[in-house]
A and B are shown apart, each in its own frame.
Chain A
């Protein structure tokens, strides 16, 4: 069965420093997609970055980059130059590879609470 594991319940980082949030996944399907979402205290899940299993390069979106290590089944999120507004819950998710059709059924991890300190 597909599974997402986030082993860091909480992380602290100093403002302007980089931080890595860990994510490992488990799937036997060769085709899958990995997502990172940010959830501030307001509740909304905000899409950050996507990595396809066949993508040759690690995904990057501004200050966010995904350290994709396929053999290790890890997809860690790296946030560079942390800002106070980055304080939030961060969720790693995988598109269920066994779910076809037009929909994106996502399997989520338990999340990591990031606190950025001034």
Chain B
């Protein structure tokens, strides 16, 4: 498999549940990202990992907890979410260099009930 793969594609969870989103990139990139896409809003950057170190936490609530065990994998651990957290969560990866584009996965459509 090539590119950026996200699982699951769809997730429905209750506010008291704990779940994790997974992202895997097969491109040999050294940076990975989590973005949140809510309806009628621009994509919001949540977290950035460069060489497996978190380099940005964009004022994201602590109920979202990222993990990057190696350069190919990125997780987003979710607990005690709120209904307003329902959104499409997109993972992306890129390689060092100003001109290089980020490659995105297909996203996880999360619904919090």
Contacts and interface: CB of A to CB of B under 8 A. Distances in A.
Interface stretch (B16-24, B47-55, B62-70, B73-81): B47-55
B96 A44 contact: no
Interface string A70-101: 00000000000000000000010001000001
A26 B98 CA distance: 18
Nearest to B40: A110
A42 B106 contact: yes
Interface residues of A, number: 26
A52 B31 CA distance: 20
A47 interface: yes
B46 to A, nearest CB: 11
B12 to A, nearest CB: 16
A8 interface: no
21 contacts: A35-B101, A42-B106, A43-B90, A43-B109, A45-B90, A45-B92, A52-B98, A91-B43, A101-B50, A101-B55, A101-B96, A102-B30, A103-B56, A104-B31, A104-B94, A104-B98, A105-B45, A106-B43, A108-B43, A109-B42, A110-B42
